[in-house]
Structure 1
């Protein structure tokens, strides 16, 4: 059954070969033209549309849906992309059920919102599949901007700056551009190389150079970038992972969930990725859900997700929680890790049940585990950074940091909610402020 053994119980190739294609195919098959028109016809085209307010990038949702309904999907795509240049990815991964679709008048009246996310995907895919880039660069300004991090925030900032006529160099520590979109999202959400395809399409604006394998703090310094460029945008995300902090946390088989997800994302064949028989995931966010669901899809027999608070406090949306349950993931709440047991490698993990104040109740839970994935938050890495607020770079409403000429956005900056769509908005808005300053504005 398995052709490669890593630890007892942790193997690759648990399933029949055709099962992997089914398990890791597109989570939401795209709408065809007829389905899109029918879905668009359900929109009321509200004058004071609550869905726009609920969208972090302020897309004119009724306008683009009307454009789909009238048979002009490319015009709809331009409406979307003018506000969110990564609208294709956001249509796939954005928690629309908590944002625009939750605010939809149809949702309030009928409990069935307009399919805003799927309609956004229909429009953006239609345009991108033609290889068309709908925007043209302004005349060169002669200004140069450095962007650190080729994730959603960095790429959004780079595109807007390039469109406004500035020359942009994007630095990223990894081998590929894309950041979270390339390395940190479940494979079944963006199959068929979509993340890299979107990056390639975005770069068609021109004026953007990407240099990979260049990290701030090792290959680059903020002071050096300031000396070379007219402005700097920091969008490098969060590179570190919080420690588990319990006895036995260093045992074999205790892994970071982000590394597991990255391995799956970069695998040419997901069947070669090893998975345990009894998997435990610790955390309550999207990373935890993605790790748990994919462990189950790889053939793990038992997958349990354990979170320290109640389900209503989980960062993962209700849709994602329900998705995990539908795939056979067991969700345990109000429990915190106490110890990892095993002789060299993990065999069990012990939890304390806790009350609403996070105090141990006196009851414990022990789960068999040959693989434990930590998804308990990430941390900012780097020295000589601008002033921090908590554990992130402090920024004002325009993205400016405490250092003159340096802006920041995305997961590394304060104030956001760690969503792709929010990172895109912050990158875009910081780029507009950079442009204002470079053009002589306040």
Structure 2
């Protein structure tokens, strides 16, 4: 990231005690009494709309009823049978636009059952025991390579291992977890929860993890196909989209994902440099996470600039409100046209936009903001390689994750669809079930022959 010697960017903007407070848990966990009270608000609907809204199809009324009757361990199992990363999803899933938005209580009272916090209560309770609720089936003798240890890859690996297959995960980064480890705002996942959840998940057995192994550099798809009975690609997204405006290469202009990753891995936040005037370009979750954390680190003025209207922002209204409540200014219908400064950024010039005949265009009217740090959060793209066919720049897959290459499945952000952790978990799980069906059917046919 930017050198701390860039003018306007400095360490130690806030005292350690203030930083610890700022980066504490966004939502305090429920205690047993609070969980019981929250669970009692559920109507336990038949054909509950919250279940339909959940990408992983968790039986939400059942797990809440189990909490209400004092069975948090059973509740956790109900959740984890469908979503093995239910603990992290309880922290980062946009429940306000999924299950909670569909809650009948939301319609009746404009206050849904706190499904996300109840899910966290249940999953935390089982993780505190240190035991794993599932056992591994007898070995099938089949082996599967999983490329990427993010939510999709981990979900796929766990389900395959539970079904008795031997799984080898190849992860490019030094740590497993993918987005959960490197890309989530620090105040949403505290106390190394992502790493602890991976360690807990691996207790199923039958999974070998190799870090620092990159597809296309350290291994090829052809090699994996030769060495394993099946391959699952959970590669995530690689390259950050370029900011095409004058001065985008000045000092102080960085990728938001790198800023977030550095913050997540920092052992001492007082040593993380941040500017006084920070501008984030983009309108999604990454933009909000970067902007809020810049403010929490001590930036005096933080602005999000988004080229379209507020309703078009990728970040939910809840996340937008969270940003503004922390003092972040959101400027909509503005886009960068130039970054000014002598070597390092000093100002950013924004042009107002409007939609004409269905196309977004600049109006010619501009404004300048002081900026000693600019973060790009304008999306990432899939780093394509020779192999599966692509669909709109991502891997084309069937409903069960099959690619155009025999024996190769894919899921998560590298495939077309919503870039959500909970969606990636569902896709990894569903691909694992299809891989299992393919491998066991193949074994049955071979035995018959």
* 2:7 and 2:344 in contact (8 A); partners too: no
Question: What residue is the counterpart of 1:16 in the other structure?
Answer: 15
C-alpha deviation, 1:379, in angstroms: 1.0
Question: What residue is the counterpart of 2:424 in the other structure?
Answer: 423
Identify the range of structure 1 (331-340 vs 32-41) with the bigger mean alpha-carbon deviation. Answer: 331-340
Question: What residue is the counterpart of 1:345 in the other structure?
Answer: 344
CA RMSD of aligned residues (A): 1.0
> What CA distance in whole angstroms lies between the structure 1 residues aligned with 2:170 and 2:11?
35
Q: Give the secondary structure class of the aligned counterpart of 1:379.
A: coil
Question: What residue is the counterpart of 2:279 in the other structure?
Answer: 280
Q: Give the secondary structure class of the aligned counterpart of 1:67.
A: helix
> What CA distance in whole angstroms lies between the structure 2 residues aligned with 1:214 and 1:233?
15
> What CA distance in whole angstroms lies between the structure 1 residues aligned with 2:283 and 2:272?
23
Q: Give the secondary structure class of the aligned counterpart of 1:312.
A: helix
Question: What residue is the counterpart of 1:309 in the other structure?
Answer: 308
C-alpha distance after superposition, 1:332-361 (max 9, x if no partner): 001111111111111111111110231111
TM-score under structure 1 length normalisation: 0.98
| 1:131-210 pair list within 5 angstroms | 131-210=130-209
| 1:216-365 pair list within 5 angstroms | 216-356=215-355, 357-365=359-367
C-alpha deviation, 1:17, in angstroms: 1.9
* 1:6 and 1:274 in contact (8 A); partners too: no
Alignment coverage as a number of residue pairs: 438
Question: What residue is the counterpart of 1:396 in the other structure?
Answer: 398
Identify the range of structure 1 (339-348 vs 321-330) with the bigger mean alpha-carbon deviation. Answer: 339-348
> What CA distance in whole angstroms lies between the structure 2 residues aligned with 1:23 and 1:309?
30
Question: What residue is the counterpart of 1:121 in the other structure?
Answer: 120
> What CA distance in whole angstroms lies between the structure 2 residues aligned with 1:272 and 1:319?
30
> What CA distance in whole angstroms lies between the structure 1 residues aligned with 2:99 and 2:212?
37
Q: Give the secondary structure class of the aligned counterpart of 1:358.
A: strand
Please state if 1:6 is matched with 2:19: no
C-alpha distance after superposition, 1:121-161 (max 9, x if no partner): 00000000111100001110000000000000000000000
C-alpha deviation, 1:166, in angstroms: 0.3
User: Where does the alignment leave 5 or more consecutive residues of structure 1 unmatched?
Assistant: none
Question: What residue is the counterpart of 1:368 in the other structure?
Answer: 370
Question: What residue is the counterpart of 2:380 in the other structure?
Answer: 378
| 1:76-115 pair list within 5 angstroms | 76-115=75-114
Question: What residue is the counterpart of 2:24 in the other structure?
Answer: 25
* 1:310 and 1:333 in contact (8 A); partners too: yes
* 1:247 and 1:340 in contact (8 A); partners too: yes
* 2:335 and 2:351 in contact (8 A); partners too: yes
> What CA distance in whole angstroms lies between the structure 1 residues aligned with 2:13 and 2:295?
11
Q: Give the secondary structure class of the aligned counterpart of 1:401.
A: coil
> What CA distance in whole angstroms lies between the structure 2 residues aligned with 1:270 and 1:425?
34
C-alpha deviation, 1:8, in angstroms: 1.5
> What CA distance in whole angstroms lies between the structure 1 residues aligned with 2:106 and 2:310?
22
User: Where does the alignment leave 5 or more consecutive residues of structure 2 unmatched?
Assistant: none
> What CA distance in whole angstroms lies between the structure 2 residues aligned with 1:374 and 1:334?
16
4+ residue segments displaced more than 3 Å: none
* 2:216 and 2:385 in contact (8 A); partners too: yes
TM-score under structure 2 length normalisation: 0.96
C-alpha deviation, 1:385, in angstroms: 3.0
C-alpha deviation, 1:6, in angstroms: 2.0
Question: What residue is the counterpart of 1:411 in the other structure?
Answer: 413
C-alpha deviation, 1:382, in angstroms: 4.1
> What CA distance in whole angstroms lies between the structure 2 residues aligned with 1:197 and 1:17?
24
